[in-house]
A = this chain, B = another copy of it.
């Protein structure tokens, strides 16, 4: 061996070494190529899509506390359609035939995108009627979530493992019987709302969302048995989200709106449920969780004390801006937090 390598050191001719390629047992190629394809398609569609939304005057009405956010009034909203549309189209075209389980994330992303779109339309038409809107949105979200959990229980559609099983780190898969239903509905509705709250700064929800989908894509690939179709779905989402992010980074040319954020959150939760990793979801989506908790804490404290505030503003990203962080610092540091949360969740998913 040693003599051989010394020999090759003195020979200039190029030769192929009869050594096996480092082949991997995991089907990596399709998911990653799908991600790159999805990015490319959404990137090319982006400028036309933005022009279309602008021509429709679907600009966002802003009613926020921070004065510099007002400058964003009129930024094309409903931009979420750029990535939800790309993902739906690519999944229907390439990742559905013979893979019925993909119907589940597909139904989720489509329904929530439509729900969010209706909500966005109501906002661009007029501000106000928030109470009706919030209740309307919430009721429909719960209905959609129940529908998803029912589909999740159709035999032969999803793997049998998806039924009532939750993976508990260290302990293993645990069947939680009927408890599964409220947990699953809570996961879907909670994540949709949490991403919706997080979607307040340029690039924040799209960046953290892309990291979360990449994490679940990796979990799907390395599960035993691997779930390559679900991984492909996740990476298609990552690619489309990165393309959306291209136009959404500060200063944003497009905003995802509820069209994007509800679909992003609900689909993320659905993917987690299909992997039986609902418990890892709040770890991977740590940023969404702390944003939601900050709102709950703020509102509760306000009500309990009869008008005092514990944070300068809520969700947390508003508070951090108000104590002096640059908008950009908040966004990118939340990205960093989401990457670490993704790494932690990934390890837990296999512990």
Contacts and interface: CB of A to CB of B under 8 A. Distances in A.
A16 B172 contact: yes
Contacts of A19: 161, 172-173
Contact of A22 (B29, B155, B223, B347): B223
Interface stretch (A58-66, A109-117, A191-199, A326-334): A326-334
Interface centre among A2, A17, A36, A160 (most CB of B within 10 A): A17
Interface in A313-351: 326, 328-329, 332-333, 336, 339-340, 343-344, 346-347, 349-351
A344 B173 CA distance: 34
Given A15-B174, A163-B8, A328-B328, A340 B39 contact: yes
Contacts of A328: 249-251, 328
A199 to B, nearest CB: 17
Contact of A5 (B26, B155, B178): B155
Given A28-B347, A178-B10, A350-B28, A21 B172 contact: yes
**Interface band, chain A:** 35 or more
Given A13-B177, A222-B26, A155 B326 contact: no
A246 interface: yes
Contact of A14 (B10, B163, B177, B223): B177
Given A5-B160, A245-B332, A249-B328, 7 more contacts: A2-B160, A11-B175, A11-B178, A17-B175, A32-B347, A35-B340, A36-B340
